[in-house]
Chain A
Amino acid sequence: MDQSQSIALPDGFVWTHRHMLGIEGLTAAEITAVLDLADGYVLQNRRVDKRSTELRGRTIMNLFFEDSTRTRTSFELAGKRLGGDVINMSVSTSSVKKGETLLDTALTLNAMNPDFLIVRHAESGAPKLLADKVNCSVINAGDGMHEHPTQALLDALSIRRRKGKLQGLIVAICGDILHSRVARSNIHLLGTMGARVRVVGPPTLIPSAIERMGVEVFTDMERGLRDVDIVMMLRLQSERMSGRFVPSVREYFRFYGLTPERLTAAKPDALIMHPGPMNRGVEIDSEVADDIGRSLILEQVEFGVAVRMACLRLLASTQANA
């Protein structure tokens, strides 16, 4: 690539990963590089002319085996704003006979010489399986209960831009930890960057041995929120609240919903985050969600595009070197 590198990598820094499959395994320096680069793209995205040329000529395929409007749109914008060509492949899970066609689909698409495959899949490890078989870079846009690395990066960018740092902050991740790839990626990222991470939720939604990932476990919301800088709420899917993991919606909100009263346990300047889409009145009270002084929820969406641009840009640098 000889195109104008409108945003240069820091001196001497070389990004070495061809794929972005998870936060686990990334170093603090690498995470910082993504965030620094993304800071620049935040500015670019606020200009009238939002387009640059770093990915000119490159093809990005969105391959979503699970429905997701916001993440797919965010990746699409990220690719287009860097001058790349973006194609959306919606592969509805019902028509796909599980992984057999997963590999077949991937190999077919690979034969069309894309430069990036952005993959979301309901099963943990599916992007890794694809990455082993294709020539292009694979970005994990969420796999099962495993990881959602760009979400954790955009969360980190949102926090860093408000708090100026990640190190030393106390972050409570609240809700359905068991099924959450967002929680796992954030645990890896925040831990690597020196934040103190708590997970808070009912015992039936906390995975076994999670403390081995370096987090403190709380099953009491008030205690879990005490003195925290960041409250990161997770979405609880309704099918999990009809007696299988939690007895009912109202019981869940009673004990684990984020209300203004409960929030008083946190630091006075604590910020609220949510990966969306929110279930108002289930895990989060509207009054909290809409408090623009404290809620980072819309910034998370905005910075998601910038972070994904940074990821594409860094992975593209390995393709150019190849």
Chain B
Amino acid sequence: MTKTAFVNARLLDPASGLDTLGVLIVEGEKITALGANVAPPAEASVIDCKGLCLAPGLVDMRVAVGEPGEEERETILSTSRSAAAGGITALAMLPNTIPVIDDIAGLEFVARRAREAKLVKIFAYGAVTRGAAGADLAEMGLLADAGAVGFTDGSSAIADALLMRRALSYARVFGKAIVQHPEEPRLAEGGQMNEGEIATRLGLAGIPRAAETIMLQRDLRLVELTGGRYHAAHLSTGEGVELIRQAKRAGLPVTCDTAPPYFALSESDVGEYRTFAKLSPPLRTDQDRREIIAGIADGTIDAIASDHVPQGQDAKRLPFAAAAPGVIGLETLLPVALELYHKGVIGLLDLLRRLTVAPADILGLPLGRLSVGAAADLVIFDLDRPWVIDAAQFRSKSKNSPFDARPVAGRATMTVVDGRIVHVSE
């Protein structure tokens, strides 16, 4: 079995709190030893990390992929390449493909394509409802058995209260979370950006922040009623964070995530109709942005996901109202998240926890850890190296990044999945 020794690495493991200069040994697909006083075996090939950070590979719990059905936006292969370049070793894709992943065949298709790409680990959510149409429950039990990491209708909210109640109750049996897009659809209908002064000036229909809080409040009552596990995806408002904070305090089985645009950008980035700043949920106020950051810092927000939504030119080079929402994020997740560390908002291990072990735990995956016997899914990154994001260089098939030309610090230099090096950069 091949042995590799990563020497002279700053080992960072949020699960155990390890932060030390040392050595990590990989045999085959597993980590077999790590620590400050580990000596590399004589027969191992040695990779000198030169003091760079070595952490568990990132686990991205919210990624939209165009395959099957919209391969011009993104394929499973291009997703894999893009993720590997971003230091992501495992991701969970949304079921909003064509067709929707609401049966075993859909999950098996994804698994096969991911095996063929053989870069990063790609998991999939099963749809909560058939066709993600919001009416009838999908075969959640069979989907769970076939490897679904959770249930969600992805970019559509589960709007029907009765259906949500049943989904939360039913998913309990299989130990999976229901992942909600927390947005009251009628309040958001026709809306293009955050409701407020900027939307009014631009003459764009607004989406009130209450669209998020109303749905969260309803869902939290249903969680009380059912005891089902609930995960609120991509929080965008300060009040939303506060609702989750209170729910956790009350002991409800609730988790949540956000994505870099919601803590790095705000509604003012829409500027003069920049469609790359059109997201669902929309970018909110600067005050919301600060409260999202506070939620990340105090642990209310468990996970940071890329919320990668590839959109081609033909979906974005349109009048704002006609343009599709969503931005890509696989290759900017790490550097934009690291801004929070560089600004002193959060410690490095805590930040990495939200990018690795926390989302892995929410998905019930034994990933995101540096420990003996764990899969050798690793990212090596240069914490301080400044660079400028250049969307043209992305591996993603779509280039709709709002972070293009942003100066950042920190970049994945090597990505390892099951002991295989899947990405190396300068």
Which A residues contact B (CB, under 8 angstroms)? Answer: 24, 98-100, 102-103, 121, 123-126, 128-129, 143-147, 181, 184, 207-210, 212-213
Contact = CB atoms under 8 A, between A and B. Distances in A.
A181 B203 contact: yes
A190 to B, nearest CB: 15
A212 B318 CA distance: 28
Nearest to A207: B200
B43 interface: no
A99 B322 contact: yes
A102 B273 CA distance: 15
A-B pairs, top 4 by smallest CB distance, nearest first, are A146-B203, A145-B203, A99-B318, A125-B273
Contacts of A147: 203
Given A123-B322, A125-B273, A128-B273, A209 B317 contact: no
B201 to A, nearest CB: 7
Interface in B299-355: 314, 317-323
Nearest to B315: A100
Given A128-B272, A208-B195, A184 B203 contact: yes
A176 to B, nearest CB: 13
Which of the listed residues B195, B196, B201, B273 has the most CB atoms from chain A within 10 Å of its own CB?
A: B201
B142 interface: no
Given A129-B273, A208-B196, A209-B197, A124 B318 contact: no
B365 interface: no
B202 interface: yes
B206 interface: yes
Contacts of B203: 124-125, 143-147, 181, 184
Contacts of A123: 319-322
A207 B273 CA distance: 18
B202 A146 contact: yes
A123 B203 CA distance: 9
A24 B204 CA distance: 15
Nearest to A21: B272
A24 B201 contact: yes
B319 A124 contact: yes
A147 B204 CA distance: 11
B200 A100 contact: no
Nearest to B272: A128
A115 B195 CA distance: 37
Given A98-B318, A208-B197, 15 more contacts: A100-B314, A124-B319, A124-B321, A125-B202, A125-B320, A129-B273, A129-B317, A144-B319, A145-B204, A146-B204, A184-B201, A207-B199, A208-B199, A208-B200, A209-B195
A256 to B, nearest CB: 20
Contacts of B205: 145
A99 B206 CA distance: 20
B196 A99 contact: no
Contacts of B201: 24, 184, 213
A125 B199 CA distance: 12
B273 A208 contact: no
Contacts of A24: 201
A124 B322 contact: no
B275 to A, nearest CB: 9
Nearest to A124: B203
Interface in B164-222: 195-197, 199-206, 208
Nearest to B195: A208
The bracket for how many chain B residues form the interface is 20 to 34
Contacts of A207: 199-200, 206
Contact of A209 (B200, B272, B321): B200
Most chain B CB within a 10 A radius of its CB, from A121, A125, A208 = A125
B206 A124 contact: no
23 contacts: A98-B318, A100-B314, A102-B319, A123-B319, A123-B321, A124-B204, A124-B320, A125-B204, A125-B272, A128-B272, A129-B273, A129-B317, A129-B319, A144-B203, A144-B319, A145-B204, A145-B205, A146-B203, A208-B196, A208-B208, A209-B195, A209-B197, A210-B200
A82 B99 CA distance: 58
A126 B199 CA distance: 15
Contacts of B323: 99
A105 B200 CA distance: 28
Contacts of B272: 125, 128
Contacts of B322: 98-99, 123
A90 B195 CA distance: 33
B186 to A, nearest CB: 12
A146 B199 CA distance: 9
Contacts of A124: 202-204, 273, 319-321
A213 B196 CA distance: 11
A184 B202 CA distance: 9
Contacts of B273: 124-125, 128-129
Contacts of A146: 202-204
A307 to B, nearest CB: 21
A145 B206 CA distance: 12
Nearest to A100: B314
Given A128-B273, A129-B273, A208-B195, A213 B200 contact: yes
Nearest to A130: B319
A211 to B, nearest CB: 9
Interface in B253-302: 272-273
A144 B203 CA distance: 7
B204 A213 contact: no
A117 to B, nearest CB: 15
Most buried by A among B199, B203, B205: B203
Nearest to B318: A99
Contacts of A213: 197, 200-201
Contacts of A144: 203-204, 319, 321
Contacts of A126: 319
Contacts of A129: 273, 317-319
A103 B322 CA distance: 13
B392 to A, nearest CB: 19
Contacts of A125: 202-204, 272-273, 319-321
A188 to B, nearest CB: 9
A228 to B, nearest CB: 22
B182 to A, nearest CB: 21
Contacts of B208: 208
In this complex, the member of B202, B272, B314 whose beta carbon has the largest number of chain A beta carbons within 10 angstroms is B202
A208 B206 contact: yes
Contacts of B196: 208-209
A102 B318 CA distance: 8
B189 to A, nearest CB: 11
Contacts of A103: 317-318
Nearest to B200: A207
Contacts of A210: 200
A201 to B, nearest CB: 14
Contacts of A181: 203
